[in-house]
Structure 1
Amino acid sequence: MQSLWMLVACVMFALMGACVKVAADYDANMPQIILFRGIPSVVLLWIWTQYHKRSLRPVSWKAHLLRNGFGVSSMWLGFTALSMLPLSTAISLNYTAPLFIGGWMLFFGGTQRDPVRITAVLLGFLGVVAVLRPSLNEDQLPYALLGLMAGAFAAVAMMQIRQLGRLGEPEWRTVFIFSCFVCLTGGLSLVTLGWATIGWPAYAALGGIGLFGLFGQLAITRAFGLGSALLTAVLQYSTIIFAAIIGIIFWDDMPDLIAWGGMALIILSGLISAWRTYSEDRIMRGQTVKSTAK
């Protein structure tokens, strides 16, 4: 049942995406959006670590720098896409990370003959084409490419998170250090671009970004930490569905049948990739146990 926390996380992340759009509509600039995404996580996690006397010293700075370099870049690109594209379209593109991981495994991971990986990559590619074709005009295409780049960068960040887990790095420390990098990049950008003059609706949306993002991060950490890895990975794609519903309600962004089909293909591609990765991890763990026993 702990995996069901992923549904809570999906609702939170869909609402966070909606707040990004609202904040941008009310003239908040991207550095402000990024900064507010990180502040609540930094403050609350720092208080928690001090209360429980937990060390914030990382196991490996190199692994964190790689994770945060790609993860923070993915956030900047993804939030930019969210501010300019229909919510469901942007979220779908941001969730193409498993497609890129599958492609990497096919070409460089020694699984070139794996028909399951090939099927997942082909379905994901068709899904991206279907999402982009009917819903975007020429002015939106560059932002769609940014969304795809966000998915690619997120794929690298996800692989680094797995590496951090293998090194024994706890999830809360990974989230805290990531949030510090988020705040750092947002703050440095504000020095250059300045603080945009905005009203209370924009500040309310910025607050929503931070709070929904924090609650979503805590829920997803609990789901992956205590629940079934496979079920949790499967449930995360419900974010696309929640985002589509929010987009319909608040922006009247009704995807057509082709776009709905594209979202379904992206979700299916992600599910196949998650299942395949989970199966391979189980096989590797089994081989490690047998080797240790010998």
Structure 2
Amino acid sequence: MQSLWMVAAAFLFACMGVCVKLAAEAGYSPAEIVFYRNAIALALMSASMLWGRLDPRTPHWKFQIYRGVSGFISLMLYFYAIAWLPLATAVTLNYTSPLFLALFLAGLSGARLPASLVGALVAGFAGVVLLLQPTFHADQLAGGLMGLASGVLAGLAYYNVRELGQKGEPEWRTVFYFSLLSTLGAGLWMLFFRFHPLTLRGAGLLLGVGIFATLAQLAMTRAYSRGRTLVAASLAYTAVVFASLFGMLFWGEVLSLAAWLAIAIIVLSGMAATRFSRANPAEQD
């Protein structure tokens, strides 16, 4: 039952996506949205660390920087994709990360890919090609490529999270440095855009992005730490379902049959890739 926390996390991540899309429609740039999302998380993490008298010093600076930079750029591209694409499409492209994580594990860790995992990867990338078919409008194609790039970088970020975990780095410290680096990066990125003053509605949306993201992270961590890993990883894809429902409810988004087929292929392939990569003997650690 603890794995069901992942359903709560998926719902909260979808709620975050709704707030991101509404904030973008209100005129806020992705840089501003990323900044406020991480600044809120940084404030919450800093207060928690001060309360618990936790030591922020880390002996693994290299991996923290790799994780922070890859995660920040992935998040930035993901928010661009949410602003430009149907919500379900953007979420699905970001959830290609397990496919790329399997490739990073093979390429960077030397893990051997079994035939079953290779089949799942091939099917997943076929789904990506189907989803990014030329029926996209020109502006949507750019957003689609950004969404796919966010999945690539998210896979790299998760690889570095895995490396940090194996080196004994506590999760709270990794979340803290990710929030810190992303806040600084987004703050610098904001210099290239016109700053939008906070309105009451805008502040509410940006606060919603930060709160929903933080609560989702907590629920996801609980699901992975107390539930069955494979069940939790599979349930993470319910975020696509919630995003689809929210897209239809708030924006009247209607996807083509081909797009729904592509989403189904990517989701099933991602679930299979997660299962097969966990079953790989090189990953039993």
Give the TM interval when normalised to the shorter protein.
over 0.9
CA distance in 2, matches of 1:210, 1:254: 28
CA distance in 2, matches of 1:107, 1:33: 33
After TM superposition, give the deviation of residue 49 of structure 1 in Å.
1.3
Q: Percent identity?
A: 36
Give the aligned partner of residue 217 of structure 1: 217
After TM superposition, give the deviation of residue 280 of structure 1 in Å.
2.2
After TM superposition, give the deviation of residue 157 of structure 1 in Å.
0.6
Q: 5 Å matches for 1:97-176?
A: 97-104=97-104, 109=110, 111=112, 114-133=114-133, 136-176=136-176
Question: TM-score, normalising length from structure 2?
Answer: 0.93
Rg larger in 1 or in 2?
A: 1
Q: 5 Å matches for 1:212-251?
A: 212-251=212-251
Give the aligned partner of residue 256 of structure 2: 256
For residue 156 of structure 1, give the secondary structure of its aligned residue in structure 2. helix
After TM superposition, give the deviation of residue 256 of structure 1 in Å.
2.3
Write out per-residue CA displacement over residues 211-237 of structure 1, whole angstroms, 9 at most, x where no aligned residue: 111111111111112221111111111
Give the aligned partner of residue 54 of structure 1: 54
Whether 1:179 and 2:169 are equivalent positions in the alignment is no
CA distance in 1, matches of 2:240, 2:185: 27
Give the aligned partner of residue 14 of structure 1: 14
Whether 1:206 and 2:206 are equivalent positions in the alignment is yes
Contact kept, 8 Å, 1:99 with 1:273, in 2: the verdict is: yes
Distance 1:107-1:53 versus aligned 2 partners, 3 A rule: closer
Q: 5 Å matches for 1:66-77?
A: 66-77=66-77
For residue 280 of structure 2, give the secondary structure of its aligned residue in structure 1. helix
After TM superposition, give the deviation of residue 173 of structure 1 in Å.
1.2
Write out per-residue CA displacement over residues 234-288 of structure 1, whole angstroms, 9 at most, x where no aligned residue: 1111111110110011011122222111111111111111111222268634xxx
CA distance in 2, matches of 1:103, 1:283: 13
Contact kept, 8 Å, 2:102 with 2:277, in 1: the verdict is: no
Contact kept, 8 Å, 2:99 with 2:121, in 1: the verdict is: yes
Contact kept, 8 Å, 2:84 with 2:139, in 1: the verdict is: no
After TM superposition, give the deviation of residue 194 of structure 1 in Å.
4.2
For residue 140 of structure 1, give the secondary structure of its aligned residue in structure 2. helix
Distance 1:234-1:140 versus aligned 2 partners, 3 A rule: same
Distance 1:281-1:60 versus aligned 2 partners, 3 A rule: farther
CA distance in 2, matches of 1:249, 1:41: 28
Whether 1:86 and 2:86 are equivalent positions in the alignment is yes
Larger CA deviation: 82-91 vs 226-235: 226-235
Q: 5 Å matches for 1:20-35?
A: 20-35=20-35
AA in 2 matched with 1:35:
F
AA in 2 matched with 1:16:
M
Give the aligned partner of residue 289 of structure 1: none
Cα RMSD, aligned residues only: 1.9
Contact kept, 8 Å, 2:104 with 2:159, in 1: the verdict is: no
CA distance in 1, matches of 2:274, 2:170: 22
Write out per-residue CA displacement over residues 170-213 of structure 1, whole angstroms, 9 at most, x where no aligned residue: 11111111111111112122334342245332222111111111
For residue 98 of structure 1, give the secondary structure of its aligned residue in structure 2. helix
CA distance in 2, matches of 1:152, 1:191: 26
Q: Which runs of 5+ in 1 are unaligned?
A: 286-294
After TM superposition, give the deviation of residue 124 of structure 1 in Å.
0.6
